[in-house]
Amino acid sequence: MIASHIHDALAQVRKLQEIIIERGLFRGYSGTARWFGGLATLVGTLIMASSLVPKTELAHLVGWGIVLAVAMVANYAGLTLWFLSDPEAKRDPQALTPAIDALAPLAAGGVLSAALVVRGDCDLLFGVWMCLYGVAHAAYRRSLPRANFILGIYYGLCGTVCLIHPAIRFVDPWPMGIVFFAGETVGGFILRQNRLNTERRSERETKDETP
């Protein structure tokens, strides 16, 4: 009898922990927006790999700049829409804390990119972008599902390979295109599942409150 009560109490504690963790997850990012960013990366890769774009570092810098702009607009537009319309956000600036925490490694990536371009070491850019993007995922280790943190490790490992592999060339867009298209596709599924879990929890709570 006592063992049964202890087992039930532990089960309730575990359930409570799961609820607390789930409620603490950040839901400001859109899986659809992340998929769109991955698709933009693939399209940009195909264009830069074609004869339409000169095999020069300047042309590819412009190309990746356009891809980055498209992905940022899609993701931050989704974040803004969530912040302004979702009752969970309540238009409270503190709700954006996880997104703000990720800005530091992204800003560091921008500074390192500028330094490499000025020094003429563009072949290292892919590795730097992947590694710093992977570090940005660490900022969400407590606010997004664990799978997202694992995805950050994937980006870091891919970036390491690009940094040390002697055959990586900036004017060959395929390493960047493949890594980011695959990563953002998986990331979109992670965010989509996160959103679905939120909707299911809300439905359960509504049913529990219904007399």
For residue 178, name the pLDDT band (cuts at 50, 70, 90). Answer: very high
For the chain, the helix, strand and coil percentages under 3-state DSSP, each to the nearest 5: 80, 0, 20
pTM: 0.83
Residue 133 Ramachandran class (φ > 0 left, ψ -120 to 50 alpha, else beta): alpha
Quote the percentage of the chain above a pLDDT of 70: 82
- Out of 4-8, 88-92, 110-114, 150-154, least confident range: 4-8
DSSP state of 55: S
Other CB atoms within 10 A of residue 7 CB:
10
**Segments making up each domain of the chain, as ranges:** 27-180
pLDDT, position 5? 46
Q: Residue 121 and residue 108: Cα distance in Å, rounded?
A: 17
Q: Are 111 and 69 in contact (CB under 8 A)?
A: no
Q: Where are the alpha helices (DSSP H) in 50-173?
A: 57-85, 97-101, 103-119, 125-138, 146-164
One-letter amino acid identity for 211?
P
Q: Which tokens is 128 given?
A: 């730097």
For residue 11, name the pLDDT band (cuts at 50, 70, 90). Answer: very low
Radius of gyration of the chain (CA): 21
Kindly report, residue by residue over 116-136, the tens digit of the pLDDT: 999 999 999 999 999 999 999
pLDDT, position 14? 47
